[in-house]
A = this chain, B = another copy of it.
Amino acid sequence: MTQLVRVQNFCVSSDGFGAGEGQSRERPFGHADPADFMSWAGATASWPNRTDPGGSRGLDDYFTRDFTNNIGAEIMGRNKFGPQRGPWVDHEWKGWWGDTPPFHTPVFVLTHHLRPSFTLADTTFHFIDADPAEALQRAREAADGRDVRIGGGVATLREFLDADLVDTMHVAVVPVELDRGERLWDSPAELTDRFHLEVVPSPRGVTHHLFWRR
């Protein structure tokens, strides 16, 4: 089995932004409303934070449950991990996800400001100062034969795309405009020189974009 580098369930606005402006502790996506980005997945039966039974088991559920399928490690940028910039003032902040993060694997956080690794439930966060190729090497080893997910945010994903290190990519385009923020693309057509692309509208309003390397 080939060990793939995958992007899964990365959400962008209809005008191409993966996050808004003004990230803070209270607003992980800046001026963007996280509900606009995530509600398609939150409505599914496989959403990990679901507290009530039920939820849809249609197309969007396939993508939601594929998030962890055969993934052995994630790489994320520091701004996905938290709103801090510069040296860590304290180590109390342990990510947005509470005591049981939805990753269940080693996670490599790219940062110039190192801090000790720590574990929450079955997720261990490692902080590394590395370029994309070096980070991927670390993640591949940790993934033990399974695939590596590039978790974002936008800047990190673009670095991995620019380095041509992504094999498959699922981007969910959500029906909201942001006007400003962290831009992934002007148009998905920018990537079709290097990737096949299938565009699949979900009956529930998002449009799934499936890329795989040519």
Q: Which residues of A contact B (CB under 8 A)?
A: 2, 45, 53, 56-59, 62-63, 65-66, 69, 168, 196, 198-200, 202-203, 208, 210, 212
**Least Cβ–Cβ distance between A75 and chain B, in angstroms:** 20
A59 to B196, CA, bound (A): 12
Choose one: B45, B58, B202, B210; the contact of A58 (CB below 8 Å). Answer: B210
A201 to B203, CA, bound (A): 11
- Asked if A210 and B57 make an inter-chain contact with CB atoms under 8 angstroms apart, the answer reads yes
Identical subunits present = 2
The 8 closest A-B pairs by CB, nearest first: A57-B212, A58-B198, A58-B210, A198-B203, A57-B168, A59-B200, A62-B62, A59-B198
Choose one: B57, B66, B203; the contact of A200 (CB below 8 Å). Answer: B203
**Least Cβ–Cβ distance between A46 and chain B, in angstroms:** 10
Contacts of A212 in B (CB 8 A): 45, 56-58
- Asked if B63 and A196 make an inter-chain contact with CB atoms under 8 angstroms apart, the answer reads no
Contacts of A62 in B (CB 8 A): 62-63, 66
Q: Which residue of B lies closest to A59 (CB)?
A: B200
- Interface-centre pick from A45, A62, A196 (highest chain B CB count, 10 A): A62
Q: Which residue of B lies closest to A169 (CB)?
A: B57
**Least Cβ–Cβ distance between A195 and chain B, in angstroms:** 10
A59 to B69, CA, bound (A): 15
21 A-B pairs whose Cβ atoms sit less than 8 Å apart in the complex: A2-B53, A45-B212, A56-B196, A56-B212, A57-B168, A57-B196, A57-B212, A58-B196, A58-B198, A58-B212, A59-B210, A62-B62, A62-B66, A65-B66, A65-B69, A66-B66, A69-B69, A198-B203, A199-B203, A200-B200, A200-B203
- Interface-centre pick from A53, A65, A210 (highest chain B CB count, 10 A): A210
A200 to B58, CA, bound (A): 9
A210 to B58, CA, bound (A): 6
**Least Cβ–Cβ distance between A57 and chain B, in angstroms:** 4
